[in-house]
A and B are shown apart, each in its own frame.
Chain A
């Protein structure tokens, strides 16, 4: 059994650990052997913390043997953490040369909560550098491959977290989502990904990209596991001044799945032009299944959506250029070889330490914030953001949740869009408006097009994360898409 833990859910592993049927060491060893087997192909991890996880497992086992029954809901569950989330004793590099070798002296709040829940952090996952990208290719260190087709990208920026879950290396992973960075890779790799309501999960210890949009969230194979991890990480934290101070309601799943009385809206702007016909067909099938479950479905409109992407890039990059000013070669991270004075040290450090996509975004952010452009770009974008928020408010007067494809198309080939940043940005059209409005949204697998996974996105009202998870659970209960697993070539079958 211990060699098979890669097909078990977090809930199941936790039960087996608590019942004494599997030790934490057996679980950790099994996950490590799965990682050793598939990592050469997938490349999801930047750092596998083998020693740490075994040490942690031994302690959990000792506690259990000593009769401790105060274990949290993730006791014995191996979890991967995106490399922009600070972990004491493990590198946190944001997949950037700028932070290579950086070991944070403190844990992010979400990591503290993971540890308190009994989870075993097994390593740090690859990502687009500083979470800037939609393919994972912007990592300074390696390219993560999509387990469903190793020639394709896993999506990004939480590329490694999504791929690690899809490849069965871990049942659960943490990602971050600024414009779709949890949901888009979840869709591309056939896993479930939740972007919580802005303010539900603490950002303390999470390396900032765009502070008014960033949120940490879970990725996993099924909705129950994702809900379990969400409940662990969400909640008040005085160290994050933008934390809403709210604790989510306790989630219970069970009984007959039903969406009776649930009103769902389908925004026509996210369902027409630019959406691949195969993706559209899968999501339409999913919508019919939601109707079969008792939901009423009606078309609606989010007219400002067509401007959301532009507003997002102005806001996100303005915030990024300001957040990334801290990487100056003084307090931590990389410093360029000594040359001249302070200003030159700053410029050379940043010029050599950052990759192309990060520099592109810092440049754009600096430009839109610079004198003479601020009102035309930054202020204007924040006004358009208000229109996007109002669109959602209007829609939520009539609907409990909105349904869209998570992405307009399935995973593209590695290298295909690398020289065309605008084409890549356009792929985030369905996920970006959600971040602008701070709403919760979940991507759930809803089938395949030419062997590549498709995700359906459900968008909810502020702090209706639990409700969204219930809806996604009901859908998952009557479908089998989330049970499909990629066959990695070395395995030679299931």
Chain B
């Protein structure tokens, strides 16, 4: 399965990764090779085989919904690149 430059660019956009032209070309080649290997799973007959999402099965882990001590807002906001008035600050959301 060979991935094209355009496909790589499309996936990079979905993943919110800005890539250089060099990276795009490198990934096109490397990801194609990895996918080629990964596609071996298509040789396996898995008709009627249920998927395993977790190997150690746990069901409905429940607990009482009680308030617990949490981190201070200031402590957490201090970790952010930018904050203002008790909120995270980000660049403008609408483009243009």
Known: A314-B38, A383-B46. A342 touches B91 (CB 8 A): yes
Minimum C-beta distance from B30 to chain A (A): 6
Q: Are A328 and B54 in contact (CB under 8 A)?
A: no
A399 adjacent to chain B (CB < 8 Å): no
Known: A385-B52, A422-B37. A362 touches B17 (CB 8 A): yes
Known: A347-B16, A347-B18, A350-B18. A330 touches B38 (CB 8 A): no
A383's partner among B37, B50, B58, B92 (CB-CB below 8 A) is: B50
Known: A345-B91, A348-B18. A105 touches B38 (CB 8 A): no
Q: Are B95 and A197 in contact (CB under 8 A)?
A: no
Inside 8 A of B81's CB, which chain A residues have their CB? 329-330, 332-335
A194 adjacent to chain B (CB < 8 Å): no
A370 adjacent to chain B (CB < 8 Å): yes
Minimum C-beta distance from B3 to chain A (A): 8
Known: A241-B61, A306-B40. A341 touches B11 (CB 8 A): no
Q: How far is the CA of A439 from the CA of B52 in the complex (A)?
A: 14
A289-307 with Cβ < 8 A to chain B: 304, 306-307
How many residue pairs bridge A and B at CB < 8 Å? 174
A115 adjacent to chain B (CB < 8 Å): no
Known: A384-B44, A386-B49. A321 touches B16 (CB 8 A): no
Inside 8 A of A364's CB, which chain B residues have their CB? 31, 34-35
Inside 8 A of A199's CB, which chain B residues have their CB? 56, 58
A377 adjacent to chain B (CB < 8 Å): yes
Known: A310-B41, A335-B82, A350-B17. A359 touches B53 (CB 8 A): no
B21 adjacent to chain A (CB < 8 Å): no
A367 adjacent to chain B (CB < 8 Å): yes
Q: Are B44 and A437 in contact (CB under 8 A)?
A: no
Q: How far is the CA of A462 from the CA of B41 in the complex (A)?
A: 25
Closest A residue to B33 by CB, please name it. Answer: A422
Q: Are A105 and B33 in contact (CB under 8 A)?
A: no
Q: Are A438 and B54 in contact (CB under 8 A)?
A: yes
Q: Are B79 and A331 in contact (CB under 8 A)?
A: yes
Inside 8 A of A385's CB, which chain B residues have their CB? 51-52, 55
Inside 8 A of A173's CB, which chain B residues have their CB? none
A382 adjacent to chain B (CB < 8 Å): yes
Known: A335-B81, A335-B82. A342 touches B52 (CB 8 A): no
Q: How far is the CA of A248 from the CA of B10 in the complex (A)?
A: 47
Q: How far is the CA of A387 from the CA of B31 in the complex (A)?
A: 25
A141 adjacent to chain B (CB < 8 Å): no
Q: Are A436 and B38 in contact (CB under 8 A)?
A: no
Q: Are B52 and A331 in contact (CB under 8 A)?
A: no
B9-30 with Cβ < 8 A to chain A: 11-19, 23, 27, 30
Q: How far is the CA of A354 from the CA of B27 in the complex (A)?
A: 14
Known: A310-B38, A310-B40, A343-B16. A363 touches B8 (CB 8 A): yes
Known: A105-B79, A347-B16. A380 touches B56 (CB 8 A): no
Q: Are B56 and A244 in contact (CB under 8 A)?
A: yes
Closest A residue to B7 by CB, please name it. Answer: A367
A353-371 with Cβ < 8 A to chain B: 354, 356, 359-360, 362-364, 366-368, 370
Q: Are A341 and B40 in contact (CB under 8 A)?
A: no
Q: Are B12 and A363 in contact (CB under 8 A)?
A: yes
Q: Are A212 and B41 in contact (CB under 8 A)?
A: no
Closest B residue to A106 by CB, please name it. Answer: B71
Known: A197-B56, A386-B50. A343 touches B41 (CB 8 A): no
Inside 8 A of A309's CB, which chain B residues have their CB? 37
Q: Are A342 and B63 in contact (CB under 8 A)?
A: no
Inside 8 A of A464's CB, which chain B residues have their CB? none
Q: How far is the CA of A338 from the CA of B52 in the complex (A)?
A: 43
Closest A residue to B88 by CB, please name it. Answer: A330
Between A and B, 28 residue pairs with Cβ closer than 8 Å are: A105-B75, A105-B76, A106-B71, A197-B56, A199-B56, A212-B54, A242-B56, A310-B39, A314-B38, A314-B41, A331-B80, A334-B81, A344-B18, A346-B16, A347-B16, A347-B18, A359-B27, A360-B30, A362-B17, A363-B17, A366-B14, A383-B50, A383-B51, A386-B49, A422-B33, A422-B34, A422-B37, A462-B56
> Which 3 residue pairs are nearest across A and B when measured between Cβ atoms?
A438-B55, A382-B51, A351-B18
11 new A-B pairs (CB below 8 Å) besides A380-B46, A387-B46? Answer: A105-B76, A105-B79, A310-B39, A328-B16, A354-B17, A367-B31, A370-B14, A376-B42, A383-B50, A385-B55, A387-B49
Residues of chain A having any CB pair with chain B under 8 Å = 102-103, 105-106, 197-199, 212, 238, 241-242, 244, 304, 306-307, 309-311, 313-314, 321, 325, 328-335, 338, 340-348, 350-352, 354, 356, 359-360, 362-364, 366-368, 370, 376-377, 379-387, 389, 421-422, 425, 436-439, 462
